Amino acid sequence: DAKTTQPPSMDCAEGRAANLPCNHSTISGNEYVYWYRQIHSQGPQYIIHGLKNNETNEMASLIITEDRKSSTLILPHATLRDTAVYYCIVRAYTGTASKLTFGTGTRLQVTL
């Protein structure tokens, strides 16, 4: 699976949009971009995933560049409860199961 690069940490003011970038320049055609987050001492929480189109759900939006070499996770109105480590993961989906390869993620701190 392709390697991802994320900034180690980011800050965001409560109520503002949090934009978390991820580079995956070696992504292949059958690889999806997944985002998970992990709040302190809890298991990772699935947020969103996409292949090449932008995706939105009740938690966040995922913007993938046209060349698919980078993406941005957007939390539209960050709250203190969004403080967590956010992981960007690229994983091939070929109809069979495959492991997730986590990096060290971006630690997002939401402040008042």
Place of tokens 């990772």: 44
CB 61 within 8 A of CB 67: no
Please identify which residue in 7, 15, 76, 103 interacts with other proteins, judged by CB under 8 A.
103
Distance CA 54, CA 71 (A): 9
Scanning residues 12 to 51, which ones bind other proteins (CB under 8 A)? 32, 34, 36, 41-46, 49
User: How many binding residues for other proteins (CB under 8 A)?
Assistant: 23
User: In DSSP terms, which residues pair with 32 in a beta bridge?
Assistant: 91
CB 86 within 8 A of CB 37: yes
Region of residue 95 (left: phi > 0; alpha: psi -120 to 50; beta: else): left
Distance CA 16, CA 47 (A): 18
State in angstroms the smallest separation of the CB of 104 from other proteins: 6
Of the two residues 15 and 103, which places its CB atom closer to other proteins in the complex? 103
State in angstroms the smallest separation of the CB of 108 from other proteins: 15
State in angstroms the smallest separation of the CB of 50 from other proteins: 10
Site pattern 44..83 for other proteins (x: CB under 8 A): xxx--x----------------------------------
